[in-house]
Amino acid sequence: MLRDRVALITGAATGIGEAIARLFASQGAQVHILDRDADGCKRVAESICADGGAAFAAGGDVRSSDDVNAWVRGAIERSGRIDILVNNAGIYPRQAFLSMAEEQWDVMQDTNLKSMFRTLQAVLPQMVAQRSGKVVNLSSVTFHLGMNPMSHYVTSKGGVIGLTRSLAREMGEHNIHINCITPGAIKTEAEAKVVTDEQAKAMMAAQSLRRRLLPLDVARVCLFLSSELSDGMTGQSLNVDGGWVMY
Ligand SMILES: NC(=O)c1ccc[n+]([C@@H]2O[C@H](COP(=O)([O-])OP(=O)(O)OC[C@H]3O[C@@H](n4cnc5c(N)ncnc54)[C@H](O)[C@@H]3O)[C@@H](O)[C@H]2O)c1
């Protein structure tokens, strides 16, 4: 489905980003992945290549314009174009608002939201020149629900939806599609560190589907939004949450 497409994916050393990178590569894309976990990122790229795919790893922080710009330049030098950008890197530590330090608030916005300003500023000129492109931003269904104690996180993910909608309007004339996924509770190693079994069960009980959602569930929707199957859509958010939120 993505034969010879060039895809850039942030935060792909593990979890949802890794699943997206593996699925895209299995569909014929050349994937360029960036993660602050340089070793993990390299392991994922090597494993994709061992499976017959094409993957290039870069260690780097999405909070650094220098890292992001060097990564995007490198991908263009190596692959000649950029067809897809998936803004996936993100963090989700819990913190009660009244005991939240200003720095915790800032790190959250910088990692989850301003990072997308950096990647989009680096990638969009190339897509404009090509007169085509697909961007998928990872938000969260918690934006619709609110979540305690995650005000800094939910605010950052609401910003992602605002950015998606506004840029979709601005970039439509260049044939660039910008959409968003709002995942529900996805079973990842990182989630297991902050969510107890009891909390996971409660979230599953709120879903219509009675199973834990996996990174591949999100990756499949990301594939749809990155392929020609979604050519009539831009500025949209799709809930991948097992039927939890229905608006
Ligand atoms: N897992 C869930 O239940 C869930 C639900 C809703 C939304 N999301 C969103 O999906 C995305 C992926 O989540 P996940 O569960 O796979 O997380 P994860 O922690 O498993 O993976 C995130 C990856 O991003 C990388 N990363 C974090 N900060 C970075 C930085 N500053 N620079 C470069 N890389 C960085 C991490 O090293 C990691 O490899 C996030 O944006 C998250 O907010 C996840």
Residue 70: its pLDDT value, please? 98
Q: What is the mean pLDDT of residues 16-23?
A: 98
What token pair was written down for 226?
A: 């990155």
CB 228 within 8 A of CB 171: no
pLDDT in tens, 78-105: 999 999 999 999 999 999 999 999 999 9
Residue 132: its pLDDT value, please? 98
Distance between Cα 90 and ligand 1 center (Å): 4
**Which amino acid would we find at residue 65?**
S
* pLDDT confidence tier of residue 206, bands split at 50, 70 and 90: very high
Pocket test for ligand 1, best of 9, 14, 44 (most atoms within 8 A of CB): 14
The protein residue whose alpha carbon is closest to atom 13 in ligand 1 is: 16
Q: What is the mean pLDDT of residues 189-212?
A: 92
* pLDDT confidence tier of residue 194, bands split at 50, 70 and 90: confident
Tell me, yes or no, if 153 is annotated catalytic. Answer: yes
Q: What percent of the chain has pLDDT over 70?
A: 100
Q: What is the mean pLDDT of residues 173-179?
A: 99
What token pair was written down for 155?
A: 């605010």
Distance between Cα 53 and ligand 1 center (Å): 23
Q: What percent of the chain has pLDDT over 90?
A: 98
Please list the helix, strand and coil fractions of the chain in percent, rounded to the nearest 5, in that order. 55, 15, 30
Distance between Cα 86 and ligand 1 center (Å): 12
* pLDDT confidence tier of residue 208, bands split at 50, 70 and 90: very high
Closest alpha carbon to 119 in 63, 158, 35, 182: 63
**Which amino acid would we find at residue 149?**
P
Pocket test for ligand 1, best of 36, 94, 152 (most atoms within 8 A of CB): 36
**pTM value > 0.85:** yes
180/203 Cα distance (integer angstroms): 22
The Cβ of residue 21 has, within 10 Å, a number of other Cβ atoms equal to 31
Around ligand 1, the residues with Cβ closer than 6 Å are 11, 13-17, 35-37, 61-63, 88-92, 111, 138, 140, 183, 185-186, 188-191
Residues sharing a CB contact under 8 Å with residue 186, sequence separation 6 or more, in sequence order: 15, 16, 213, 214, 215, 217, 218, 240
Residues sharing a CB contact under 8 Å with residue 101, sequence separation 6 or more, in sequence order: none
Q: What is the mean pLDDT of residues 117-130?
A: 98
The Cβ of residue 4 has, within 10 Å, a number of other Cβ atoms equal to 11
Closest alpha carbon to 225 in 66, 14, 5: 5
169/25 Cα distance (integer angstroms): 29
Domains parsed from the chain with CATH numbers: 6-240 (3.40.50.720)
